[in-house]
Amino acid sequence: MSNNVPLPAGTVLGKSFEYGLDINLGLIGTPSWQPARRISAFAPTYPEVTEAVTSYDDLGAPNDDVTGRGFATSFTIQGNRSLSTGLYLPELEAIIAAGKSKGEAAVLDVRWYHKPESGTAHPTDAGRSLVRVSVSRQNTGDAQNEIFSVTLTGKGVFESIANPFTGWAVTTPVISGITPAAAGEGDLIVLSGANFLGATAVKFGAIDAGAFTVINGGSIAAVLPAGSAGSVNVTVVTPGGTSAAFAYTRTV
């Protein structure tokens, strides 16, 4: 007979890998979130800032209040490269670039969140912060996989956010914006949004883009096909489905 106190029905023991980290490859106000792929040992912490409030009533014992909390984390990430360009995955390129820079160029905008293998994600176990970046190539042997050690140190107050994780299933693409605000036939435009990886088409009404390139999960560069001036519905097609139409005004 077990002496263990039973758990409530419908509970499950969490796993160490059930966390996600995204790097913003866009702007603060119009983020383009790219998941950091192939990470391990993700260890978020919330360092405290304290202030002494000791008085005679404490009889010489320490008495400090927590006046603030920051964010910091460390993790490892695999160095996956493109065979055609030699570049790392875009999120790792951003991490390495920040780790080599100074000033604002050494800062990234990141978000982290509970990402369970099964069941519902914790609704508030998530945050967003500006961070300083320190990165080093971890492997030192003669035949090891390329792995980087990364440390992120928060700048200022981190923001508690609603958990953005919606599940492991392939999700429908979403267009949140298109720049520049107006363009014509043959011009290059950039679509911002989410879930663009694996895109098979970018359509302007029923007409395919002249050409397009998926930059990352949140950005696509496309060439405007022939068409009339005015509003046109733009959609992105991926294995996860077709995005809702985004109205774009073209000059010609």
Lowest mean pLDDT among 60-69, 123-132, 235-244: 235-244
Max Cα–Cα distance, the chain, nearest Å:
81
Query: Looking at residues 159-165, what average pLDDT do you find?
Result: 94
Which three-class secondary structure state does DSSP give residue 35? strand
Beta bridge pairs of residue 107? 132
pLDDT at 180: 94
pLDDT bin (cut points 50, 70, 90) of residue 163 is very high
Among candidate residues 159, 190, 194, 198, the one with its CA nearest the CA of residue 173:
194
d(CA 231, CA 205): 10
Residues linked to residue 194 through DSSP beta bridges, in sequence order:
174
Cα-to-chain-centroid distance, residue 92 = 11
State how far the alpha carbon of 205 is from the alpha carbons of 194, 199, 214, 231, in Å: 20, 17, 19, 10
Residue 54 to residue 132: CA distance in whole angstroms: 33
Mean pLDDT, residues 94-120: 95
Q: What is the mean pLDDT of the chain?
A: 92
Q: Which pLDDT belongs to residue 102?
A: 96
Q: What is the pLDDT of residues 212-243, one digit of tens each?
A: 999 888 889 999 999 999 999 999 999 888 99
The pLDDT, as a whole number, for residue 1 is: 52
In angstroms, rounded to a whole number, what is the distance separating the alpha carbons of residues 22 and 7?
Answer: 33
| Per-residue model confidence (pLDDT) at position 112 | 98
pTM, entire model: 0.71
Least confident of 50-54, 153-157, 236-240: 236-240
Percent of the chain residues past pLDDT 90, beyond the cut: 72
- Judged on CB neighbours under 10 Å (0-12, 13-18, 19+), 242 is middle
Give the dihedral sign, CA 73/75/79/80.
negative
Task: Please measure the distance between the N-terminal and C-terminal CA atoms of the chain and give it in whole angstroms.
Answer: 78
